[in-house]
Amino acid sequence: MTIDKAEVIVTSPNRNFVTLKITTSDGVTGLGDATLNGRELAVVSYLRDHVVPLLIGADENRIEDTWQFLYRSAYWRRGPVTMAAIASVDMALWDIKAKKAGMPLYQLLGGASRTGLLAYGHASGTDLPSLFDSVRDHLEQGYRAIRIQTGVPGLNAIYGIASQSAAAGGGDERYDHEPARRGAKPVEEDWDTRAYLRHLPGVFEAVRNEFGPELPLLHDGHHRMTPIQAAKLGKELEPYDLFWLEDCTPAENQEALRLVRQHTTTPLAIGEIFNTVWDFKDIIREQLIDYVRGAVTHMGGISPLKKTLEYAAMYQIKSGMHGPTDISPVGMAAAMHLGLSIHNFGIQEYMKHGERTNQVFQQSFTWQNGLLHPGDAPGLGVELDLDEAGKYPYEQAYLPYNRLADGTVHDW
Ligand code: GCO
Ligand code: MG
C-alpha cells in the first residue's frame, strides 16, 4: 500500500496545534504532532510545501527509511522546524503501523515495561501560601511528583507562575495553563537572577517542611543562570533532595554542565529545546545529566528519541520527556507509548489540556493514582475530530520574553 493523502491541520482550541494526518490507499489514517510553540506556521509551510509532496505514493511501512530520507535528503539538517516536521511523519507512520497490527503502539515498541508512568504536574504561586494551595490541589488531583515554581519578591511577572497565564484570559478562555499568550507581540517579563537565587532555597525549605521528605519535587531554571550561578543553586538545593533541577543553564553551552556537575549532586535534566541525538551525545557520554528532556515532537519523532534513550540507558540516564500543553495530545500519546516500553523511563511531565482541546483530540489514555497509561486502542490511540478542529482557526500567539531592570534582553 502507499500514502494517498497527507493533510496539515491547524487548530487553536485552547492553544495552537499543528497536526499531520496521513491516509493510506487502504484507508488507514495516522496522526503526528508538529506543533512548535510560537513558530507554528513555519512548520506548516515546511510540511505543506516540502514534505507532503514527497510522501504521496511512498510506502507507509518504511518508517526508518522515510525518516532517513527526509533527514538526509534535505541536506540542511536539524533545527526545530525541520525536526518537528519530520517528527510528525514518524509519529503518523508508527500510528498507522500499529493500527494495521491491531495493537497499541507500545506493544510494537517491545511491550510494557511497567504498569503506568509516574507523571509530574506544575504547582506554582506568587507567594508561599498560594504555592502551598497549588501543591495541595495537585496532590488532590492525584499527582505524586510536583514541579515547584514561585514568584520572586520584587519581580512582577516571571516564568512558570500559573496565575499570570490565567490572568491572560481566565476560565476556559485562558491560553491553556502555559505562558504563551495570544497577541501580535510577545509579552515582556522581568528577571533578576540574584534575587531569584536568594529566594529559591527558602522556598524549597518551606515546601519540604510543609509536605515532608518523600514527595518528589522538581524545579525548572529555564536556561536563566550562568554556569557558576547554577552550580551555586544546585549546591544550595541539596538539602531538599530535588528529583531534578531542569535547564539550569542555556542549552547551547553544554560545557556549562561540566562546571555545574563539579559542584553539586542535585540531579540535572536538560533537552526540551534539543532536536537530535547529537545535542545529547556528549552530555550523555560524559554523564553530565541524569534525565533526557527531549520531546517526541521536537526530537524528530519516536524513532530517534528511542535511539537517544537507549544510548542514555548505557549511562544509567533516564527519560524525562517534555509534556507541557504545547505538546499536543498526539505528541503526548507518542511519549506515553515510548515511556511505557523503554526500560530507563524516569518521569513524564503532564500538564492537562483544556476542555476544547480534548474535544478536538479524542484520546484513550488513562490517569489513575498518579500514573499515566496510553490505553489499549490500536495505534497511538488519538483521533482528530475535523469538524471540532475547524471551529478554532489559528491565532497568533507568542511566548513571553525577559528583560533585566536595565533593559537588557535575558533568557526567558
Ligand atoms: C516545561 C517547559 C515549558 C516551555 C514551553 C515552551 O518544562 O514544561 O519549560 O513550559 O516553556 O514548552 O514552549
Ligand atoms: Mg522546562
Distance 220 CA to ligand 2 centre (A): 5
Q: How far apart are CA 364 and CA 95, in angstroms?
A: 14
Mutate to test the pocket of ligand 1, among 39, 158, 326, 412 (most ligand atoms within 8 A of CB): 326
Q: How confident is the model at residue 371 (pLDDT cuts 50, 70, 90)?
A: very high
**Share above pLDDT 70 across residues of the chain, in percent, rounded to a whole number:** 96
Q: Is the CB of 290 under 6 A from ligand 1?
A: no
Q: Which residues of 65-104 are buried (b: 16+ CB within 10 A; e: fewer)?
A: ebbebbbeebeeeeebbbbbbbbbbbbbbbbbbbbbeebb
- Rounded to two decimals, the pTM is 0.96
pLDDT at 174: 54
Mean residue pLDDT across the chain: 95
CA distances from 10 to 13, 23, 28, 40, 250 (A): 10, 17, 21, 9, 30
Provide the pLDDT for residue 176. Answer: 64
Average pLDDT value for residue range 292-299? 98
Higher pLDDT, 336 or 176: 336
Q: Go through the chain and tell me how many residues it has.
A: 412
Mean pLDDT of the 76-85 span? 97
Among 159, 240, 350, 392, which one carries the catalytic annotation?
159
Residue 159 annotated in active site: yes
Q: What is the DSSP string of 273-299?
A: T--SHHHHHHHHHTT--SEE---TTTT
Q: DSSP class of residue 41?
A: H
Q: Is 279 in the pocket of ligand 1 (CB under 6 A)?
A: no
- Ligand 1 in reach of 13 Cβ (< 6 A): no
Specify whether the CB–CB gap between 338 and 302 falls below 8 A.
yes
Question: Which range (97-101, 149-153, 175-179, 289-293) has the least confidence?
Answer: 175-179
| Domain extents in the chain | 3-103, 117-378
More confidently predicted of 327 and 175: 327
Helices assigned H by DSSP within 46-113? 52-55, 63-73, 80-101, 105-108
Query: What's the confidence (pLDDT) of residue 156?
Result: 82
**Is the CB of 272 within 6 Å of ligand 1?**
yes
Pick the catalytic residue from 122, 177, 219, 222: 222
The closest-lying atom of ligand 1 relative to the alpha carbon of residue 220 is 7
Alpha-carbon span 136 to 149, nearest angstrom: 14
Q: Which atom of ligand 1 lies nearest, measured to the CA of 122?
A: 8
Our answer to whether residue 175 is catalytic in this structure is no
Do 3-103 and 117-378 show the same overall fold?
A: no
Query: Cβ contacts of residue 200 below 8 Å, gap of 6+?
Result: 150, 152, 219, 233, 236, 237
pLDDT given for residue 168 in this prediction: 38
CATH 3.30.70.1350 matches 3-103: no
* Dihedral, 212, 215, 218, 219 alpha carbons, nearest 10: -30
Q: For the segment 92-148, what is each residue's pLDDT rounded down to a tens digit?
A: 999 999 999 999 999 999 999 999 999 999 999 999 999 999 999 999 999 999 999
Residue 352 has pLDDT above 60, yes or no: yes
What CATH architecture applies to the domain 117-378? Alpha-Beta Barrel (3.20)
Report pLDDT for 170.
39
Nearest-CA residue for atom 8 of ligand 1 = 324
Q: What is the pLDDT of residue 166?
A: 46
pLDDT in tens, 219-243: 999 999 999 999 999 999 999 999 9
For range 242-270, the mean pLDDT: 96
Does the CB atom of residue 325 touch ligand 1 within 6 A?
no
HSE, side-chain direction, 13 A CA sphere, residue 268: 30
Closest by CA to 219, choosing from 283, 187, 264, is 264
What ranges in 113-192 are assigned the alpha helix state H? 128-141, 162-167
Q: pLDDT digit string (tens) for 158-202?
A: 777 864 444 333 344 455 666 788 888 999 999 999 999 999 999
